[in-house]
Chain A
Amino acid sequence: MFKKMTAGVMALTLGASLLAGCSSGGADDGKVTLELFSNKVESIDTYKSLIKEFEAQNPDIKIKLDAPPEAETVLKTRLTKNDLPDIMSIAGNATYGELGRAGVLEDFSGIDLTKTVQPSYIDMVNRLVGPEGEGTYGLPYATNANAVIYNKAKFEEHGLEVPATWDEFIASLEKVKAAGDTPIYFTLKDAWTGMIAWNSLGANVAGEDFAEKKNAGEATFVENYDEVADKMATLVQYGHKDNMGVAYGDGNNAFANGKSVFYLQGNWAIPEILKANPEMELGVFPMPVTNDPEQNKLVSGVDVLLAVSEETEHNEEAMKFVEFMMTKETAQKYIDEQKAFSAIEGVYQENPVFEGIKANFETGAITSFPDHYYPAGMGAENLVQEFLIKKDKEKFLKKMDSEWEKVQNR
């Protein structure tokens, strides 16, 4: 028995050392390998094809793409480990602000590339870092639109028109519901999807500068978000029967298969929907949040910015890739495939799907994502998700205030 085991162990050891042998080979062929970290699952295929193109132009550089789930937790883990990826393609939100303040990202202030970006988006990311870090640590690349997507065929079937006010919006939801159809397909098993409506409501009702006021002690959720919470609670009444049980991926599929008329999502969901049903005709409009059409702005933020680690050993190569990404041709390709908008001057999204929000970009009727300015680690989306289940408004708003203060005080 023992002899047999020894033989087995020997065989295994031999096998393992062979395996180890082949894993260590082939690393040193003169190529520089860069790691590109992306927080977006939706853009993996686009990035892969862009990387292929870049590698063809630069045969001595190899780019490894990493787009893990819970990307921000992973990125923060790597920050703690002092092991940041060479290039980061991340959202312009509180995590970016924190990385900027931590001084671990290359400062792009004043370099030529920043001049190709629309100045308003540079301001937006600079504001995230705040006065403590001051600098442009990321180049705004793609921007997004937080909107209402609708199924055109169903829309016509119900005889609807694009609503311009909150009351009109509710009236159309009511009409769909009365006809026995599902108005909105919610995917609240993934907490973040609740933030789409929250951000549209919050930005237009409570104002863009809520976070600054909140930090200065001049505003609170209890005082300024009462109407937002009420309207959130109204919206979920127009969902399907399992609002909390369906996740984002399944929701994209369901919407693509005509399970509802409206879908509260960002432009990033459109490629996923079209993947599930390439024939589908979609429309988009900004969520009308108030009854004054003049006041209803589209929520748009920096969906992707490109940052380079301060400590990368291959700064030159990393910048080469960033420059490649920032060219007009690449930027155009990116937004065409991703159905996104570009932060780069002179690159426009011409897809007819976006007819309904084009005017907002042209006239500047745009406002930023309120939750990008919330302190990281506050977990606002889970609190909102909890509220949508329990509908305990007073308690919820108080909790939003106390969690915010708690995280700020640590």
Chain B
Amino acid sequence: MKKKNSVFLIITIPAFLLFFIFHSYPALQGIFYSFTDWKGYGDWNFVGLKNYLNVFKDGRAGDAYLFTFKFAIVSTILVNIISLLVAIGLNSKIKFHKTLRAIYFLPYILSILIVGFIFNFIFAHFLPQIGDAFGWEFLTRNILGNPDLAWIGIVIVAVWQAVSFNTILYLAGLVTISEDLYEAASIDGAGVWTKFWKITFPLIAPFFTINMVLSLKNFLMVFDQIVALTGGGPGKSTESISLLIYRGGFEGGEFAYQSANAVIYFIVIIVFSIIQLKFLNKREVEN
């Protein structure tokens, strides 16, 4: 038995070390530099909490947080509603079941960046052409050029892409529900709505929880879509936190400052995830 233990240690210790070296150590370094004035090269000094205080006073960072959260929350909700509907549709008795399922899953395999470039063209050229042809004034301008609407363009692309994966997860949950349950409910005179809330939803609640948490986390890190669509513009209206850290940290020579921003971002994400898990778990239990 002793030998067996050492084998397990031989397996896990290198994994732990590698993970520590390439994941935790950089994270710790980031925290360390956040208390300095390092530009990413050259000399540095300790500056205490100055960077943190500056982040709180920084309007640009504040806007990036607002945009990122607005984007992430709206996208998470939309993705989960749409993919739940699609999954229910795919799970009912339909024609072309396999083909449709394959089509709905297709976006998951595509590169987000390239999808973004394609949509960029659609927003800049195709939709205005449609707008002109039908005289729809609101479509004749590129929505990515409008600071009040550009974020919606990004939501559209993000949702288009993310629905696929979440649909499959919901579908996986739905196929486990026995048909007998629905039949029993029908005999009791339950309608479609009641069946959904009394049977379907409680049974796929764990999937709902995991989908919500994972989608929100992914959307909070939004980067590729923005690089491909707006580059953070117009103005700074679609600058996400990831983009700000990348741009400011490298181009702006604000390595230390953006590290402080990253640490704050991390804390915010942790707090958000915990709240979300608590909230969703509670409703699962209640149901």
CB of A76 closer than 8 Å to a CB of B: yes
CB of B128 closer than 8 Å to a CB of A: yes
User: How many interface residues does chain B have, given as a range?
Assistant: 35 or more
CA distance in complex: A376, B128 (Å): 35
- Of B142-150, B179-187, B214-222, the one with at least 4 CB within 8 A of chain A: B142-150
CA distance in complex: A152, B158 (Å): 45
Report yes or no: B145 in contact with A245, Cβ–Cβ below 8 A: yes
CB of A79 closer than 8 Å to a CB of B: yes
Interface residues of A in 353-398 (CB under 8 A from B): 376-379, 382-383, 385-386, 389-390
CB of A242 closer than 8 Å to a CB of B: yes
- The minimal Cβ–Cβ distance linking B122 to chain A, given in whole angstroms, is 13
Residue of A nearest to B141 (CB): A242
CB of A98 closer than 8 Å to a CB of B: yes
Interface residues of B in 224-242 (CB under 8 A from A): 231-237, 239
19 new A-B contacts at CB < 8 Å, known A377-B251, A377-B253: A70-B231, A76-B253, A77-B250, A102-B42, A104-B41, A241-B141, A244-B142, A244-B146, A245-B144, A246-B142, A246-B145, A377-B252, A383-B236, A385-B235, A386-B236, A389-B147, A389-B235, A390-B235, A410-B54
Query: Taking A77-B250, A386-B237 as contacts, is the C-beta distance between A245 and B60 under 8 angstroms?
Result: no
Residue of A nearest to B51 (CB): A410
Report yes or no: B40 in contact with A80, Cβ–Cβ below 8 A: yes
Report yes or no: B41 in contact with A79, Cβ–Cβ below 8 A: yes
Query: Taking A73-B246, A410-B254 as contacts, is the C-beta distance between A247 and B124 under 8 angstroms?
Result: yes
Residue of B nearest to A247 (CB): B124
Q: What are 9 A-to-B residue pairs whose CB atoms are below 8 Å?
A: A77-B250, A242-B128, A244-B146, A244-B234, A245-B143, A246-B124, A382-B232, A389-B146, A410-B256
Report yes or no: B54 in contact with A406, Cβ–Cβ below 8 A: yes
Most chain B CB within 10 A, of A73, A188, A244, is at: A244
Interface residues of B in 133-170 (CB under 8 A from A): 140-147
CB of A191 closer than 8 Å to a CB of B: yes
- The minimal Cβ–Cβ distance linking B259 to chain A, given in whole angstroms, is 12
CB of A57 closer than 8 Å to a CB of B: no
CA distance in complex: A5, B3 (Å): 32
Most chain B CB within 10 A, of A73, A103, A378, is at: A73
Interfacial chain B residues near A382, Cβ < 8 Å: 232-236, 239
Chain B facing A: main interface SS: loop
CA distance in complex: A385, B232 (Å): 12
- The minimal Cβ–Cβ distance linking B250 to chain A, given in whole angstroms, is 4
- The minimal Cβ–Cβ distance linking A171 to chain B, given in whole angstroms, is 28
Report yes or no: A79 in contact with B40, Cβ–Cβ below 8 A: yes
B-binding residues in A (CB < 8 A): 70, 72-73, 76-77, 79-80, 82, 95, 98, 102-104, 188-189, 191, 241-247, 250, 376-379, 382-383, 385-386, 389-390, 399, 402-403, 406-407, 409-410
Query: Taking A242-B140, A242-B142, A245-B145 as contacts, is the C-beta distance between A376 and B251 under 8 angstroms?
Result: yes
Report yes or no: A98 in contact with B253, Cβ–Cβ below 8 A: yes
Partner of B251, one of A73, A250, A402, A403: A73
Query: Taking A76-B253, A386-B235 as contacts, is the C-beta distance between A189 and B145 under 8 angstroms?
Result: yes
Residue of B nearest to A399 (CB): B59
CA distance in complex: A244, B149 (Å): 12
Interfacial chain B residues near A409, Cβ < 8 Å: 54
Cβ contacts B252-264/A at 8 Å (1 or 0 each):
1111110000000
Query: Taking A98-B253, A102-B42 as contacts, is the C-beta distance between A242 and B145 under 8 angstroms?
Result: yes
